[in-house]
């Protein structure tokens, strides 16, 4: 039984680097497609292309991780299930923390023009895509992979809790881009908060719900600005 475990550990370290690279390659391809089509000025089209690429990549990545779980004899239900039950105070703290952090960032970025709002009012497609599909996908996939998979694998390899949290947070930050420093900082902080909660409480459903709400509020601010 030791050989499969060893392979799984080495795979998780490789994935820690390769997953962010994959996301950024998808983003670069999206930019290239828009610019090559002569539609570079169409900001909303660019967002649809980029976020559609991220959406597909999310499900590709989670498919890979689910295969890793199965090779360890772990079902998706077991991987997602809370390991320690629910404690309301830590759950509320992490929920409020990640939502306040992301809401302040989005509000500030929109206010100073760091992020441009849509040029037209939100369509039904935009509402469904940005307020339902994207948040639910991101909340489920990112918490399952960067907390439930990476942190567990790093701990199994012998890394300390703090190192496991930091390494998973760095990887998590870089899936959101290599060049936008403020977004890297915010997503790194998001990862630290979520990772610390996960190590202490082992409760992915709370993190998934918190993440979904944070993304829904963030995209909602962007659409309504």
14-70 tens-digit pLDDT:
999 999 999 999 988 877 777 776 655 566 777 888 899 999 999 999 999 999 999
Enclosing domain of residue 10? 2-224
DSSP the chain: -HHHHHHHHHHHHHHHHHHHHHHHHHHHHHHHHHHHTT-TT-HHHHHHHHHHHHHHHHHHHHHHHHHHHHHTT--HHHHHS-SS---HHHHHHHHHHHHHHHHHHHHHHHHTTSSPPPSSPPPHHHHHIIIIIHHHHHHHHHHIIIIIIHHHHHHHHT--HHHHHHHHHHHHHHTT-SS-HHHHHHHHHHHHHHHHHHHHH--HHHHHHHHHHHHHHHHHHHHH-
Q: Is the pLDDT of residue 5 over 60?
A: no
What is residue 41's predicted lDDT score, i.e. its pLDDT? Answer: 52
What is residue 8's predicted lDDT score, i.e. its pLDDT? Answer: 53
Q: Count CB atoms within 10 A of the CB of residue 10.
A: 11
2 pLDDT tier (thresholds 50, 70, 90) = very low
DSSP 157-185: HT--HHHHHHHHHHHHHHTT-SS-HHHHH
Span 118-134, mean pLDDT? 89
Span 201-205, mean pLDDT? 97
What is residue 195's predicted lDDT score, i.e. its pLDDT? Answer: 98
**Closest to 219 measured CA to CA, from 140, 136, 113:** 136
86-124 tens-digit pLDDT:
999 999 999 999 999 999 999 999 999 988 888 777 889
Q: What is the mean pLDDT of the chain?
A: 90
181-193 tens-digit pLDDT:
999 999 999 999 9
Q: Which residues, at least 6 apart from 150, have a Cβ–Cβ distance to it below 8 Å?
A: 12, 15, 16, 164, 167, 168, 171
152-172 tens-digit pLDDT:
999 999 999 999 999 999 999
Number of structural domains the chain divides into: 1
């Amino acid at each position: 039984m030791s050989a499969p475990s060893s392979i799984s550990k080495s795979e998780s370290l490789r994935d820690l680097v390769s997953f962010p690279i994959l996301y950024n390659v998808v983003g670069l391809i999206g930019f290239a497609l828009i610019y090559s089509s002569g539609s570079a000025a169409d900001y909303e089209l660019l967002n649809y292309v980029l976020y559609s690429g991220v959406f597909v990549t999310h499900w590709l990545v989670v498919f890979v991780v689910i295969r890793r779980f199965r090779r360890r004899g772990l079902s998706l239900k077991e991987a997602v299930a809370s390991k320690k039950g629910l404690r309301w105070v830590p759950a509320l703290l992490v929920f409020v923390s990640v939502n306040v952090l992301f809401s302040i960032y989005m509000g500030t970025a929109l206010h100073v023009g760091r992020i441009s709002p849509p040029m037209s009012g939100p369509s039904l497609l935009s509402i469904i895509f940005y307020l339902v599909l994207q948040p639910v996908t991101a909340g489920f996939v990112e918490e399952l992979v960067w907390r439930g998979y990476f942190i567990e694998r790093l701990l199994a390899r012998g890394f300390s809790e703090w190192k496991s949290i930091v390494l998973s947070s760095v990887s998590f930050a870089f899936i959101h881009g290599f060049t936008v420093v403020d977004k890297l900082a915010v997503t790194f902080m998001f990862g630290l908060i979520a990772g610390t909660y996960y190590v202490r409480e082992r409760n992915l459903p709370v993190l998934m719900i918190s993440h979904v709400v944070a993304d829904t509020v963030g995209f909602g601010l962007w659409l309504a600005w």
